[in-house]
């Protein structure tokens, strides 16, 4: 490479970073004053987060953020005035930072919000994410990012057009025992990976809940819990699948209506020849296990994706990494990604969310047709 090339590359990088400075400095106008020793003693610039959808998982995230070193709850979006009042008081969010679903586009003019974390029913994610992006705020969206790849692509495009980042709430991507298995796999400790098994499910209760309503959930167990097996297969094996086969069974067609999957078994094939066999269900308990075997060793996580502690072992012994509340760790790491441009070991961006949605689309197509579906995840 010539000196000219080097100089041109350097200048291009300089221009590129200068281009993002105005966005960061305007959305982070208050972040400087949140540095340690100035206000609340958190480490580095603070990510100021508004929560959208004040349900059960949002409550867990709000509580987890209280011990986050880098993320702080600064805004609330809900359709229920009493919840805004109650959460505002409990978490110290002033009235001027509380919004409803009609007026939340106004966060555009709220300098105390850097990102909105969308924790609403699945089919709402797409439109809400697009509105947040257009308001110039980073989007953190719960899994599944959307209910199909077409909608996921719309979100990726909207965030890219608005110059904001899109992250998906994949908390397992920061979990210490999971990361240790990934480190060992990369170091060659298991040899060439041959097989992964992901068992994900629970017996769902109340038949009236949104998770069993296709209009809000976009599907059934696959959208909610099966996605962990899909995502886990990818980060455990460390490859992108190239084909999928799937079979659906339904024992309760009243509770699990048309378009709401109860139980799906699916298989994934990877370029190396490794295969995965997975189960997604809303009809059985005691299913939260990842197992992977390679030419030289194995790893097991059991439980693999619950709120923890995650437990696990490999052919070398028990995994002993300490448990940290997943959502606290996730918010600390996401602050680093959004504010400092950090790169996580396993991606949590829109492209990552989109891959899982393409696989979900293919799983449903395989169930409907009985035929193997080829995957091109790029
Ligand atoms: P929830 O039912 O407890 O909360 C959903 C919230 O959305 C409620 O406050 C509800 O009032 C609000 N809402 C807004 N518009 C609504 C509408 N039109 N219909 C119904 N509710 C509406 O659900 P949850 O368990 O908090 O799940 C929310 C999202 O979080 C889902 O996408 C789910 O997959 C995800 N989630 C992720 C994890 C994880 O571990 N990452 C865990 C649980 C849930």
Task: Identify whether residues 202 and 300 lie together within a single domain.
Answer: yes
| C-alpha–C-alpha distance, residues 253 and 207, integer Å | 12
In a domain, 183, yes or no: yes
User: Which residues in 11-26 are b (16+ Cβ under 10 Å) and which e?
Assistant: eeeeeeeeeeeeebee
Task: Identify whether residues 90 and 189 lie together within a single domain.
Answer: no
What is the 55 CA–ligand 1 centroid distance (Å)? 6
> Residues 332, 323, 61, 344: what is their CA dihedral angle, to the nearest 10 degrees?
40
Indicate the residue among 112, 146, 168 that finishes a domain: 168
For ligand 1, whether the C-beta of 344 sits within 6 Å is no
* Amino acid 332: pLDDT: 98
Task: Identify whether residues 161 and 290 lie together within a single domain.
Answer: no
Strand order in the sheet with 71-77: 98-99, 71-77, 47-52, 115-118, 138-141, 166-168
Q: Token match 């994900």: residue?
A: 200
Six-digit token string for 286: 């005691």
Indicate the residue among 168, 202, 229 that finishes a domain: 168
Q: Helix 125-134 crosses helix 149-162 at what angle (to 10 degrees)? A: 10
Task: Identify whether residues 317 and 360 lie together within a single domain.
Answer: yes
Nearest residue (CA) to ligand 1, atom 17:
121
> Residues 350, 274, 365, 214: what is their CA dihedral angle, to the nearest 10 degrees?
-50
* Amino acid 42: pLDDT: 56
Task: Identify whether residues 86 and 199 lie together within a single domain.
Answer: no
* Amino acid 44: pLDDT: 76
For ligand 1, whether the C-beta of 142 sits within 6 Å is yes
Q: Total domain count for the chain?
A: 2
**Residue of 142, 202, 329 best suited for mutating to test ligand 1, as the one with most atoms within 8 Å of CB:** 142
Residue 247 parent element (H or E): strand 243-249
For ligand 1, whether the C-beta of 120 sits within 6 Å is yes
Ligand 1 atom showing the smallest separation from residue 171 Cα: 41
* Amino acid 325: pLDDT: 97
Range of the domain at 163: 3-168
Task: Identify whether residues 112 and 246 lie together within a single domain.
Answer: no
Q: What is the CATH number of the domain that holds 295?
A: 3.30.360.10
Q: What is the DSSP letter of 103?
A: T
Per-residue pLDDT tens listing for the chain (378 residues): 333 343 334 333 333 333 333 333 333 333 333 433 234 555 679 999 999 999 999 999 999 999 999 999 999 999 999 999 999 999 999 999 999 999 999 999 999 999 999 999 999 999 999 999 999 999 999 999 999 999 999 999 999 999 999 999 999 999 999 999 999 999 999 999 999 999 999 999 999 999 999 999 999 999 999 999 999 999 999 999 999 999 999 999 999 999 999 999 999 999 999 999 999 999 999 999 999 999 999 999 999 999 999 999 999 999 999 999 999 999 999 999 999 999 999 999 999 999 999 999 999 999 999 999 999 997
Task: Identify whether residues 111 and 251 lie together within a single domain.
Answer: no
**pTM score, two decimals?**
0.91
Q: What is the DSSP letter of 142?
A: P
* Amino acid 285: pLDDT: 97
37: left (phi over 0), alpha (psi -120 to 50) or beta: left
Q: Would you call 129 helix, strand, or coil by DSSP? A: helix
In a domain, 199, yes or no: yes
């Amino acid at each position: 490479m010539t000196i000219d090339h080097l100089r041109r590359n350097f200048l291009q990088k300089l221009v590129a970073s200068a281009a993002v400075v105005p966005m960061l400095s305007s959305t982070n106008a208050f972040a400087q004053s949140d540095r340690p020793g100035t206000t609340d003693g958190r480490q580095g610039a603070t990510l100021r987060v508004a929560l959208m959808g004040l349900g059960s998982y949002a409550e867990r995230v709000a509580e987890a953020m209280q011990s986050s070193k880098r993320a702080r709850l600064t805004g609330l979006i809900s359709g229920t005035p009493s919840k805004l009042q109650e959460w505002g008081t409990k978490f110290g969010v002033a009235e001027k930072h509380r919004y409803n679903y009609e007026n939340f586009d106004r966060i555009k003019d709220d300098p105390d919000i850097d990102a909105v974390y969308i924790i609403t029913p699945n089919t709402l994610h797409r439109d809400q994410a697009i509105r947040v992006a257009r308001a110039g705020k980073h989007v953190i969206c719960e899994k599944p990012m959307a209910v199909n790849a077409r909608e996921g692509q719309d979100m990726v495009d909207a965030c890219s057009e608005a110059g904001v980042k899109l992250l998906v709430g994949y908390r397992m991507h920061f979990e210490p025992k999971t990361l240790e298995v990934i480190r060992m796999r990369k170091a060659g400790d298991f040899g060439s990976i041959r097989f992964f098994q992901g068992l994900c499910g629970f017996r769902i209760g109340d038949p009236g809940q949104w998770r069993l309503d296709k209009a809000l959930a976009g599907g059934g167990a696959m959208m909610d819990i099966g996605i962990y097996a899909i995502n886990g297969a990818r980060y455990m094996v460390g490859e992108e699948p190239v084909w999928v086969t799937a079979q659906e069974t339904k024992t309760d067609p009243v509770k699990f209506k048309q378009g709401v999957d109860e139980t799906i078994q699916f298989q994934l094939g990877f370029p190396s020849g490794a295969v995965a066999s997975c189960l997604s269900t809303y009809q059985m308990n005691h299913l939260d296990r990842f197992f992977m075997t390679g030419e030289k060793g194995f790893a097991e996580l059991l439980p693999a994706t619950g709120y923890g502690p995650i437990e696990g072992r490999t052919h070398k012994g028990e995994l002993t990494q300490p448990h940290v509340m997943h959502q606290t760790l996730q918010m600390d790491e996401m602050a680093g990604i959004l504010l400092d441009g950090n790169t996580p070991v396993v991606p949590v961006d829109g492209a990552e969310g989109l891959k899982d949605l393409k696989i979900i689309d293919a799983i449903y197509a395989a169930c409907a047709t009985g035929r193997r579906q080829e995957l091109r995840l790029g």
